[in-house]
Amino acid sequence: MNTIKSPEELEAKREEIIAARQRDGAAVAVCCGTGCSASGAGSVVAALQEYLARWKLEVPVKTRITGCHGFCEQGPLVVVEPGNILYCRVKPEDVPEIVDTTLVGQEVVERLLYIDPVSGKPVPTEAEVPFYRGQRRLTMGWNGRINPDRIEDYLAVGGYRALAKALSEMSPEEVIDNIRESGLRGRGGGGFPTGRKWKLCRQATGEPKYLICNADEGDPGCFQDRSLLEGNPHLVLEGMSIAAYAIGAAQGYIYVRNEYPLAVKHAGMALEQARAWGLLGENILGSSFSFDIRLTRGGGAFVCGEETALISSIEGLSGEPNPRPRPPYPVDKGLWGKPTLINNVKTLAAVPMITERGGDWYQQIGTATSKGTMIFSLTGKVNNTGLVEVPMGMTLRQVIYEIGGGIPGGKEFKAVQTGGPAGGCLPASKLDLPLDYEKLTEAGSIMGSGGMIVMDNTTCMVDVARYFLSFTVDESCGKCTLCREGGRQMMAYLMEITAGRGKLEYLERLRELAAAMQAGSLCALGRLAPNPVLTTLRYFKDEYLAHIEERRCPAGVCRDLITYSIDTEACTACGRCIRNCPTGAISGPDKEVPLLDQELCIRCGACLDLCRFDAIVVQ
């Protein structure tokens, strides 16, 4: 492969790739993101390749292995082009029918289409599915159309055009001004204006300068950084190259979780390809700009997502990460004491389109202070789980009900948690809140990295607060006393409350400790860790009171406060619970409603899971 030495050569190469593509016939895209792979996408690909090889079709058909399409709930997903026909939950045995009916017969296989739960009717194309219809997939949209292993695929959809534009037509200052005009803000949590951060780093004195892509997606419940890096790694590399050109960095790092092996693999392959094509390295596209990127694996520590901790983790030899007071900020003194720009994967992934289409175009999307689109991981008790990319300003209700399809099993919405362990839980009265950095902060939560976890009336909010706090206590690096000890003490109170030994005065002490932690912690982990406790106290105080005053868990979650019983009316005496009770607490003769011995019952939930007749009652 000859390296590409100028923007003109890049365009010529692109045209060559596109022309070759037009000769291809149909394409079958199989989502092989982490979600669909777990649902068996690998065997669908194998079946498809085998079937296509056996029955040589007149029109050539390409199998395209793609990254995450976002609609993980319905995986494995298969999209047939042309036609944009979406097939859901595809099994290997469905492959012959898809090939024979759709590719040869030009008709759809109705039974594999997505069924709109509202109308009950099948939806033939991907674009018409309500989950996708409400979205604006500016960043994620390419994922379904390219094979992340192939740089040619990325070029075919316009890849690296923005980098060529920046290098040949714009000065670094113009690149920064364009990002400033776009209103883009950090998508990793802080929401700091990206253009301003770049400008600060460009102006900082000290050489060399470094760029770090933060892909240490530690928020439990978030997987959009993973999906971008797995599904479209060149997009992130292109964004990084533009950022490096703007600030004047020659060396970049991608700090990625070791728990994401596929992201590590795809990013590594993309780096090799970009080097081979001359899109990384010396004098990129014939310009005077030289830049390369190294991949660094994290060790599975949430605190490493924090900028100063991440820097010390890359520096490596000091062992543990070490959050430190600011200023100085990393843009002045970062990696090895040099000016360092750290941006999240999603922020960098937005850079190519802003550079290509202009900051004035991007700033038209969104609200007054929050511009562009945001990718959320919509999970928990919602029908359509997956990754959704929506314009800022859309309401929580629109995301949860119109895109997410509402709450499954006819249950009631109780809360939505945004912003990960440092975020907050918002109640039904906040459903019409627009997604906007300031609005979420006012309500007590944060935008964070885009986690959105929906909870229904079987989720206990005290337990959720305990869960989040146990996570942050566990992940605290222990440097700041108030984060380390304050968090533990708050945990102790929450454990007492969920065990039915709570006292009313604990609620006040929780608030005091929270205030102390917020004031006395060096990094965002400690400062934001009390958020889930504070928001649940603010919006769900009734549940705390039920645990303390009535020794009752209204959601039926806290084991010390609940009992299981059998509804004799609903029970059909099928005996499944008897056979599967691990402690023998459920017993009785054949064909009779069994008895449940409270002494032996450990409230493990096995019977509740198994019973087909809703005859297990939790109180």
Q: Which residues bind another protein (CB under 8 A)?
A: 34-35, 37-39, 72-73, 217-223, 226, 257-261, 296-302, 313-321, 377-381, 385-387, 417, 420-421, 451, 453, 455, 459, 464, 467-468, 471, 475, 477, 580, 582, 604-606, 609-610
Torsional sign, CA 129, 135, 138, 143? negative
Residue 109 DSSP class: -
Cβ proximity to another protein, 591 vs 612, nearer residue: 612
Cβ proximity to another protein, 56 vs 579, nearer residue: 579
Q: Minimum CB separation from another protein for residue 100, in Å?
A: 30
Cβ proximity to another protein, 22 vs 318, nearer residue: 318
Cβ proximity to another protein, 152 vs 463, nearer residue: 463
Q: Minimum CB separation from another protein for residue 217, in Å?
A: 7
Cβ proximity to another protein, 55 vs 336, nearer residue: 336
- Cα–Cα dist 413/408, whole Å: 10
Cβ proximity to another protein, 35 vs 487, nearer residue: 35
Cβ proximity to another protein, 130 vs 159, nearer residue: 130
- Cα–Cα dist 531/525, whole Å: 10
Cβ proximity to another protein, 94 vs 217, nearer residue: 217
Q: Minimum CB separation from another protein for residue 296, in Å?
A: 7
Q: Minimum CB separation from another protein for residue 613, in Å?
A: 15
249-256 and 209-215 beta bridge pairing = parallel
Q: Minimum CB separation from another protein for residue 609, in Å?
A: 4
Beta carbons within 10 angstroms of residue 423's beta carbon: 28
- Cα–Cα dist 457/227, whole Å: 30
The region, left, alpha or beta by phi > 0 then psi within -120 to 50, assigned to residue 478 is left
User: 549 with 504: CB under 8 angstroms?
Assistant: yes
Cβ proximity to another protein, 102 vs 227, nearer residue: 227
User: 331 with 197: CB under 8 angstroms?
Assistant: yes
Cβ proximity to another protein, 102 vs 377, nearer residue: 377
Count the helices and strands in the chain (H runs, E runs). Answer: 25, 19
The closest alpha carbon to 32, from 62, 67, 63, 64, belongs to 67
Q: Minimum CB separation from another protein for residue 114, in Å?
A: 15
Cβ proximity to another protein, 156 vs 606, nearer residue: 606
Cβ proximity to another protein, 267 vs 314, nearer residue: 314
Q: Minimum CB separation from another protein for residue 10, in Å?
A: 32
DSSP string, 426-495: EEGGGTT-B--HHHHHHTT---TT-EEEEEETTS-HHHHHHHHHHHHHHH--S-SHHHHHHHHHHHHHHH
Q: Minimum CB separation from another protein for residue 455, in Å?
A: 6
**Peptide bond before residue 328 is cis, with ω within 30 degrees of 0:** yes
Strand partners, 78: 30, 87
Token pair of 85 as six digits: 């026909």
The contacts of residue 354 (CB under 8 Å, 6+ apart) are 178, 179, 182, 184, 361, 362, 372
69 vs 55, 73, 78, 187, 402, CA distance in Å?
28, 11, 10, 20, 18
At residue 306, what are phi and psi to the nearest 5 degrees?
-75, 135
Token pair of 99 as six digits: 């090939």
Q: Minimum CB separation from another protein for residue 31, in Å?
A: 12
Token pair of 345 as six digits: 């994967």
DSSP string, 378-442: EEES-SS-EEEEEETT-BHHIIIIIIS---GGGPPEEEEEESGGGSEEEEGGGTT-B--HHHHHH
Q: Minimum CB separation from another protein for residue 115, in Å?
A: 18
Q: Minimum CB separation from another protein for residue 320, in Å?
A: 5
Token pair of 26 as six digits: 């149909």
Token pair of 220 as six digits: 């439990």
Strand partners, 64: 29
Residue 125 DSSP class: B
Residue reference for tokens 């949430």: 302
Q: Minimum CB separation from another protein for residue 549, in Å?
A: 25
Q: Minimum CB separation from another protein for residue 290, in Å?
A: 20
Q: Minimum CB separation from another protein for residue 558, in Å?
A: 11
The closest alpha carbon to 310, from 357, 284, 344, 277, belongs to 344
- Cα–Cα dist 233/256, whole Å: 12
Cβ proximity to another protein, 203 vs 258, nearer residue: 258
Cβ proximity to another protein, 195 vs 218, nearer residue: 218
Is residue 111 packed enough to be buried (19+ CB in 10 Å), middle (13-18) or exposed (0-12)? exposed
